[in-house]
Amino acid sequence: NIEAIQLDVSQAIPLGLILNEAISNAIKYAFPENELRVIYVSLIQSNSSDISLMVRDNGIGFPENWEKVL
């Protein structure tokens, strides 16, 4: 679900980098071999100044102690 949103370059480049990293990490780390890989991307503008980007997948998720690693 991606809306048509106009961004200036100072917003579009960081957004593109974040999106690229999120998708790359999902592909690289979220899935075991031979698993169906589904990645959902949503970009929604909620008002004139707020944009919400959500990237999620059907991968294995975080380990139980992921908070301690961060």
Tell me the pTM: 0.75
In a domain, 4, yes or no: no
- What is the extent of the structural domain holding 22? 9-69
Number of separate domains in the chain: 1
Q: Is 26 exposed, middle or buried (0-12, 13-18, 19+ CB in 10 A)?
A: buried
pLDDT of residue 66: 77
Residue 14: pLDDT above 70? yes
Residue 23 Ramachandran class (φ > 0 left, ψ -120 to 50 alpha, else beta): alpha
pLDDT band for 67, please (50, 70, 90 cuts). Answer: confident
Name which residue leads in pLDDT, 59 or 3: 59
Instruction: Note whether residue 18 is domain-resident.
Output: yes
- Contact partners, residue 6, CB within 8 Å, separation at least 6: none
Residue 3 is assigned to a structural domain of this protein: no
In a domain, 53, yes or no: yes
pLDDT band at 70 (very low <50, low <70, confident <90, very high): low
Burial class (CB in 10 A: 0-12, 13-18, 19+), 13: exposed
